[in-house]
């Protein structure tokens, strides 16, 4: 087996997951390499969040294989390389008085240090994460006073402070305006290129993620497309991938199917 250092952050082979008696994922095969920004898209119920939760070890799978940094049985140090930002992570109640810096400090806590005084190394991690997220000017502000985009960057900064290398994001673009969305996508791209982070991000905003990610995956029980973001299928081709038949048969839909075949779209 490859060494931990040279192995990709994630490798999945023929993964099948059943939830509440229903098969949600079937024969999913996927490899994500270091430094990639991968956008995960698909319809509601297609298995996107299920895939992330299975990668994190929160859901059991029926068959298949998951390797994290070359290990099928990850240790605590391997899981320590993963950072998870849920869809509702930035929805912090307004009655909770918490500054940006205090929120990011939470990312440095673990079972071995949570009862000890905050040290210089932790302080360095926090400052670097805040700087990278572009939140230095608001580090002493209450999180509840921030814009949606700033809150989203703050919860990502908390993950960065934990020294996570592989960051999994579930719908971080929900509830933020266009300007904040563009700023967040540039920030995530910066994490890959300048901080050598690896990102797997779920989003329903196909247009936004196509502009920023290196690679896109369309998941609906199986992987229907896995390839370059700029080659992502148009709506008609996407319908063909999903097995949705046109009500009005015409030459345009046939032409699009031929174009998709030339693109090498995966089924």
pLDDT digits (tens, 9 = 90+) for 73-113: 878 788 889 999 998 888 888 888 899 999 999 998 865 55
- The three-class DSSP label of residue 71 is strand
Count CB neighbours of 74 within 10 A. 18
Cα–Cα distance measured from residue 217 to residue 234, given in angstroms and rounded to the nearest whole number: 14
Residues of the chain with CATH 3.40.50.300: 1-78+166-178+203-232
Q: How far is C-alpha 7 from the geometric centre of its chain's CA atoms?
A: 19
What is the pLDDT confidence band of residue 122, given thresholds at 50, 70 and 90? confident
Q: Please, are residues 10 and 204 in contact by the beta-carbon 8 Å criterion?
A: no
- Which residue bears the tokens 């969040």? 49
Mean per-residue pLDDT of the chain:
86
Strands (E), the chain: 10-19, 22-32, 37-41, 63-68, 82-85, 166-170, 198-202, 215-220, 222-228
Please state the pTM of the whole predicted model.
Answer: 0.84
Q: Is the pLDDT of residue 32 over 70?
A: yes
Query: Is the pLDDT at 135 greater than 90, yes or no?
Result: yes
| Nearest by Cα to 105 from 92, 94, 118, 115 | 118
- Can you give the pLDDT at residue 266? 43
- Cα separation, 234 vs 213, in Å, equals 17
For the domain covering 1-78+166-178+203-232, report its CATH number: 3.40.50.300
pLDDT tens for each residue of 182-235: 889 999 999 999 899 999 999 988 988 998 899 999 999 999 999 999 999 887
């Amino acid at each position: 087996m490859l060494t931990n250092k040279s192995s990709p952050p994630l490798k999945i082979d023929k993964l099948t997951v059943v939830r509440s008696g229903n098969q949600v994922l079937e024969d999913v095969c996927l490899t994500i390499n270091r430094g990639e920004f991968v956008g995960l898209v698909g319809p509601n119920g297609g298995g996107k969040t299920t895939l992330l939760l299975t990668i994190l070890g929160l859901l059991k799978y029926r068959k298949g294989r998951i390797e994290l940094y070359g290990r099928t049985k990850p240790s605590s140090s391997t899981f320590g390389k993963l950072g998870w930002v849920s869809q509702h992570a930035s929805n912090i109640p307004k009655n909770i008085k918490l500054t940006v810096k205090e929120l990011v400090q939470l990312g440095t806590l673990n079972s071995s240090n949570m009862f000890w005084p905050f040290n210089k190394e932790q302080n360095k991690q926090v400052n670097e994460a805040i700087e990278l997220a572009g939140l230095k000017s608001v580090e002493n502000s209450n999180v509840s006073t921030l814009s949606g985009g700033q809150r989203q960057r703050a919860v990502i900064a908390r993950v960065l402070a934990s020294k996570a290398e592989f960051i999994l994001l579930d719908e971080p673009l929900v509830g933020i305006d266009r300007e904040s969305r563009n700023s967040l996508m540039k920030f995530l791209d910066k994490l890959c290129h300048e901080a050598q982070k690896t990102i797997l991000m779920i989003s329903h905003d196909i247009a936004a993620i196509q502009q920023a990610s290196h690679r896109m995956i369309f998941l609906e029980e199986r992987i229907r497309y896995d390839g370059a973001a700029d080659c992502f299928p148009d709506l008609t081709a996407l319908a063909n991938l999903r097995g949705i038949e046109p009500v009005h048969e015409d030459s345009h839909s046939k032409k699009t199917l031929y174009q998709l075949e030339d693109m090498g779209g995966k089924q």
